[in-house]
Amino acid sequence: MSDPITTASFLGLSGALLGIGLFGILTRRNFILLLIAIEIAINAAVLNFVYFAAFASTPASGLNGQSAAVVLVGLAATEIAVGLAIVLALNRLRGSINVTEATSLRL
């Protein structure tokens, strides 16, 4: 196949996306940026599904992957919506969306 994209290079891309997302989740102080990091991390999985579906061996398997990707996109949107609700409530309560300022519970 003359296709320049190999599975290994593709997994490198989605792995990098996941890595960037996880790094963001663990280091970001601003809740909105943290939400963006979550979105990036989840999209790594969506991209994987799309890629594997495109090169699936049977049509049924391809449809399986594509539908999984659509479901995950919906889930990611729900997850972010809930995150935004929590941000709004936090902001209303203490006027800040900085994650590190929420320290009333000890770790």
Contact residues toward other proteins (CB under 8 A) are 7, 14, 18, 21-22, 25, 31, 34, 38, 41-42, 44-46, 48-49, 51-52, 56-58, 60-61, 64-65, 67-68, 71-72, 75, 78-79, 82-83, 85-86, 89-90, 92-94, 99, 102-107
Q: How far is the CB of 2 from other proteins (least distance, A)?
A: 22
Q: How far is the CB of 73 from other proteins (least distance, A)?
A: 11
- The answer to whether 66 touches 47, Cβ cutoff 8 Å, is no
Give the nearer residue to other proteins in terms of CB position, either 2 or 58.
Answer: 58
DSSP letters spanning 2-69 = --S--HHHHHHHHHHHHHHHHHHHHH--BHHHHHHHHHHHHHHHHHHHHHHHHT-SSHHHHHHHHHHH
> What single letter denotes the amino acid at residue 61?
S
Give the nearer residue to other proteins in terms of CB position, either 2 or 47.
Answer: 47
The owner of tokens 């090169």 is 55
Q: How far is the CB of 70 from other proteins (least distance, A)?
A: 10
CB-based contacts of 50: which residues, under 8 Å, 6+ apart? 65, 66, 69
Q: How far is the CB of 12 from other proteins (least distance, A)?
A: 13
